[in-house]
Amino acid sequence: MPLQDDFDAFYFIPDLHAITVPQEPKELRRRTKVAAAQLLALGIDPDRSTLFVQSQVPEHAQLAWVLNCITGFGEASRMTQFKDKSAKQGTESATVGLFTYPVLMAADILLYRPQRVPVGEDQRQHLEMARDLAQRFNTRFGKAFVIPEAQMIKGTSKIYDLQDPTSKMSKSAASAAGLINLLDDPKVSAKKIKSAVTDNEREIRFDRENKPGVSNLLTIQSALSGTSVEDLEKGYEGKGYGDLKSDTAEVLVEFVTPLRAKVDAYMADPAELDRILDAGALRAREVSERTLATVYDKVGFLKYKG
């Protein structure tokens, strides 16, 4: 969230990406609004940044089609996220939408001509693809895009499954016991933290390779408390895993309790939530329309005269 203090920041709820796997329409609408409420509760200020729903800005899908047409099949096939998800779903059941997911992500980025894009390590490959497509388009048709630089999110950019700390925490995990939902009952989430997998040693230190479970708990506590992992390590000298789990659970409860109250307040005022999202979509379209118009002109599409 600090990025909104220094940049003209754009945030969106990626509902177009969501439908690359089956979604129940009523539930998708509910989750979209909950996601918006969460982002606002976490500190996004609609007066200082732009918050919108992806599907309400059609330029995302329109630019994605143009970028699809300059993306090689082999290039898209090498995206690790598609390989991982299609392996879980089965290649025959994986959708073309899932296959072209990174191209839509490239459109999401390039529409707003950003200089910097905050990205975790697991998304670096997708940003590299966006950079490649921007450069390819600019070379082939003339400059339309800025080549964005990665602003790497360090430390807390990746949270791992509590029951399998070698895998990223995900809603598609085999067991719900490994997943923390910030809107769940805090007591339920605290219990999951206290049941998190660690190891057979006792020393509390950050070591992603040899102590993934302990490292994950330190990362979670650091993200929620604002205390560096290094300072947390010093504070746990001579203490055991029970202390680490209890403290992390306590910090989690302290973080989510006011957050849930703020989310509930936004959800209780749907008209205000809609107003914020509508204003965000209008602002996003003002920017994205200009980019798309440039792209269409460069490609050779006829300009609409109506």
The tokens for 45 are 């200020």
> How confident is residue 118, by pLDDT bands cut at 50, 70 and 90?
confident
Q: How far apart are the first and last CA of the chain?
A: 41
How far, rounded to the nearest angstrom, does the alpha carbon of residue 92 sit from its chain's CA centroid?
27
> How confident is residue 189, by pLDDT bands cut at 50, 70 and 90?
very high
> How confident is residue 219, by pLDDT bands cut at 50, 70 and 90?
very high
Q: Nearest CA to 17 among 77, 100, 78?
A: 100
Residue 155 above 60 pLDDT?
no
Query: What residues have CB less than 8 Å from 8, skipping those under 6 apart?
Result: 49, 50
CB 34 within 8 A of CB 73: no
Which part of the chain is CATH 3.40.50.620? 3-154+270-299
For residue 287, the SS3 value is helix
Architecture, CATH, for domain 176-264 = Orthogonal Bundle (1.10)
Identity of residue 80: T
Tell me what pLDDT residue 86 has: 66
Tell me what pLDDT residue 304 has: 87
Tell me what pLDDT residue 277 has: 98
Which part of the chain is CATH 1.10.240.10? 176-264
Residue 139 above 90 pLDDT?
yes
The sign of the CA dihedral 238, 239, 244, 250 is negative
**Helices (H), strands (E): how many in the chain?**
14, 4
Q: What is the mean pLDDT of residues 7-11?
A: 88
* pLDDT tens figures, 232-290: 999 999 999 999 999 999 999 999 999 999 999 999 999 999 999 999 999 999 999 99
Q: How many residues are recorded in the chain? A: 306
CB 23 within 8 A of CB 40: no
Residue 156 above 60 pLDDT?
no
> How confident is residue 120, by pLDDT bands cut at 50, 70 and 90?
confident
How far, CA to CA in Å, does 215 sit from each of 156, 202, 211? 11, 13, 6
Q: What is the pTM of this model?
A: 0.88
The tokens for 293 are 């118009």
Q: What is the mean pLDDT of residues 11-36?
A: 96
Q: What is the mean pLDDT of residues 5-34?
A: 93
Crossing angle between the packed helical segments 59-68 and 270-299, to the nearest 10 degrees: 30
Residues designated as active site: 85, 168, 171
Q: What is the mean pLDDT of residues 138-146?
A: 98
Mean pLDDT, rounded, of the chain: 92
Q: What is the DSSP string of 58-98?
A: THHHHHHHHHHTTS-HHHHHT-HHHHHHHHHH-TTTS-HHH
- The single-letter DSSP state of residue 116 is E
User: How many C-beta atoms lie closer than 10 Å to residue 42's C-beta?
Assistant: 12
What is 3-154+270-299's CATH number, 3.30.499.10, 3.40.640.10, 3.40.309.10, 3.40.50.620? Answer: 3.40.50.620
CA atoms within 13 A on the CB side of 93: 8
> How confident is residue 152, by pLDDT bands cut at 50, 70 and 90?
confident
Tell me what pLDDT residue 80 has: 77
d(CA 189, CA 17): 27
d(CA 108, CA 105): 5
Tell me what pLDDT residue 102 has: 94
